[in-house]
Structure 1
């Protein structure tokens, strides 16, 4: 039993080491470029909604837009690989962070955050791969279906409410991170580009925080009203914001903010700490 445990630990350690190779580091940086591109496209689609045009303002809509362009398939496979590498890098960050000071609550929190990011980036890589392989998916419908399955489980409604509140909390955290400019800790000194990067990140993080909070609220409402269709993901969150009084102006501001977040993500590919 002891040898098996040691062997498993060694295998995990070797996998973590491999995920920090120069090649993976380079691909991980490219992952932020694709994340930026997705957010820019989501912002553009949201601006189309402001103009009264249709569209799916979420990851699926953005990636579907890329898929429809000449050479889109190659670009999507590149996005899948790059985002997958970024997910691996974040898992390695969690692994080494947890091992360096397991007694430190700060290190454990940072490791948990890295795992959460790795899951998000891994899901994005999967979405890229689905579209690259010729498939497609509707994120809003997927969110509603997943919420319905959770609500059908024992204590599922309570769990869905907890998930919704957690996403609202994540939105508040993103907004705080933007306003406080704590995101600059993720970067090396951008030099002469510092002011531009700070403003892009501040506006971008705040906009993404508002959108995440809206998504979380919709999930809570879906659970409270026993109507899973109200949980409609990012696209639903943006359209809900647009339906509010003066929502056209709010949606336009959020769309511009998401574009700023996308440009910041591309800057992070250049200046990020790896």
Structure 2
């Protein structure tokens, strides 16, 4: 009996599980707001351009609301929790990806996500505390500029762009193939709840993949033209979608991002959290 008990997995530390769930909620809220602002900009329901519908635009939108500073600090804290959870996934291999090439690749993805969301959290904290925020696209422009200054910098930036496009295509693949359903495997969901998650996740991953693909395309354009200012983010992707394909497609992608946010909410409630 003692050996059987020792072989059983221990429950995850509560603080890590709470961090993960709070982080998923904060991430979901940001995606919902990004999608909402993009939808409103597409159909002229709110003043401001599509470029104001990125994460920085969301932070500023929250700050303008009643008790905005408190709300933004809470969002920043949630994003910091999400970042910490991603770093734990990468460094402790809580998803048991292993140390083969594929496993290390997935863990590197968790690490990149943790660093990226850590940056988002810092930006939100700075804005809430009155330290100001970076200009639109500044982070990506700075990255592009530093890469272009290196030997073979144009080729390196093209590789980065291709990597981001590949990540976007993989997001679309995950949505179409329903691979994201593994996120809630073992949760014993009701059929109606599972179907709702499947529909929200499918739309969300496809929309997210489209945006990522465009951001990768902007990196490649910045490399080809040796112009770091062309390395745009979510807001520029929205503007490109509307100018090239019209408000209907932008509205559809915006709804997809809202669905992704809803999927994050459902993950926060139902996803089993592994921490060891």
Does TM, normalized by the shorter one, top 0.5?
yes
What are the ranges of 5 or more consecutive residues in structure 1 without an aligned counterpart? Answer: 1-19
Can you list the C-alpha shifts for 1:68-111, whole angstroms capped at 9, x where unaligned?
A: 11112222222222222222222222223289675544433332
Name the counterpart of 2:164. 167
- Once the 2 structures are TM-superposed, how far is the Cα of residue 229 of structure 1 from its aligned partner? 1.9
Q: Which has the higher contact order (CA 8 A, sep 6+)?
A: 2
Can you list the C-alpha shifts for 1:25-72, whole angstroms capped at 9, x where unaligned?
A: 213211111111111111122123212442412110111111111112
Can you list the C-alpha shifts for 1:221-252, whole angstroms capped at 9, x where unaligned?
A: 111112222212111111111111x3221111
Scaled by the length of structure 2, the TM-score of the pair is: 0.85
CA root-mean-square deviation? 2.1
Can you list the C-alpha shifts for 1:149-191, whole angstroms capped at 9, x where unaligned?
A: 3212322211111111111001001110111111111113432
Q: Pick the structure with more helix per residue.
A: 1
CA 1:163–1:268 in 2, change beyond 3 Å: closer, same or farther?
same
CA 1:21–1:132 in 2, change beyond 3 Å: closer, same or farther?
farther
CA 1:101–1:48 in 2, change beyond 3 Å: closer, same or farther?
closer
1:98–1:107 Cα contact (<8 Å) kept: no
SS of the residue 2:53 aligns to: coil
1:255 matches 2:249: no
Name the counterpart of 2:43. 51
SS of the residue 2:137 aligns to: helix
Name the counterpart of 1:213. 213
Deviant stretches of 4+, over 3 Å = 98-107
1:177-188 correspondence runs (5 A): 177-187=174-184, 188=187
